[in-house]
Homo-oligomer: A and B are copies of this chain.
Amino acid sequence: MAREKIKIKKIVNITARQVTFSKRRRGLLKKAEELAVLCDADVALVIFSATGKLFEYASSSMQELLGKYKLHATNNADKANEPSLDLQLLETDEIRMGREVLEKNRELSQLRGEDLHGLSLEELQRLESMLEGGLHRVLETKDERIANEIASLQQKGFQLMEENKLLKQQMMTLISKGKRPRTMATELDNLVTNHEDQGQSSESVTTNVSGPPPEDDCSDTALKLALPFN
């Protein structure tokens, strides 16, 4: 309900669908709560995303509400059916779930290309475009992720080079002054504090620098810093 009016039918673009889902979901949950508060009503709202994630709101205990609902539902159904319907419902639920499992398995094995012999040409086409779409989106996100990792590595590498340059300068200064470290701790103190005086974009680096084994040379330190992302 904004910029453009939209038809109320499944949004085809997956990204747009997910965005709309998260916006409208929040709106719906909010309105459910408002109704419960304003009008002193009992409200239970259960939402499953297409991907199976669960979102819920209940003005009181969800269990309680669902129990109450079940009473109403079975009461109304009893008018048409025999009274022992509750047990029947449970059975059919199981059966339905069993069917669902079978159906999902068939779909999965078709997508894996395992059980294609009963399918018409049209169904094969449908499978094909579904697989192509999925593959396309997988490659997209993979590429994106890889690009990010590369960029991140480059960034870290650049920071490390800067670090190393500074560290070498500090070393040279120390050496040229003829100083000799009394303890490793004090030397490191000097390195860090001096570096903070000169570096501008060094917050993240200085945090990482806390307490490296003094025996390591620079390249080894670089390796350690590059590791923290998988």
Residues of A bordering B, CB below 8 Å = 6, 8-11, 14, 17-18, 20-21, 24-25, 27-28, 31-35, 37-52, 54, 56, 62-70, 72-73, 86, 89-91, 93-94, 96-98, 100-102, 104-109, 111-117, 119-121, 124-125, 127-128, 130-139, 141-142, 145-146, 149, 230
Taking a contact as CB atoms under 8 Å apart, the answer to whether A113 and B137 are in contact is: yes
Of A38, A73, A127, A149, most B-chain CB atoms within 10 Å? A38
Tell which of B63, B130, B141, B146 touches A112, judged by Cβ atoms closer than 8 Å: B130
Of A18, A34, A134, most B-chain CB atoms within 10 Å? A134
- Oligomer: number of copies: 2
Taking a contact as CB atoms under 8 Å apart, the answer to whether A51 and B139 are in contact is: no
Which partner residue on chain B sits nearest A137 by CB separation? B113
Contacts of A27 in B (CB 8 A): 31
Taking a contact as CB atoms under 8 Å apart, the answer to whether B31 and A63 are in contact is: no
Knowing A8-B38, A37-B8 are in contact, say whether A48-B64 is a contact too (CB < 8 A).
no
Contacts of A96 in B (CB 8 A): 64
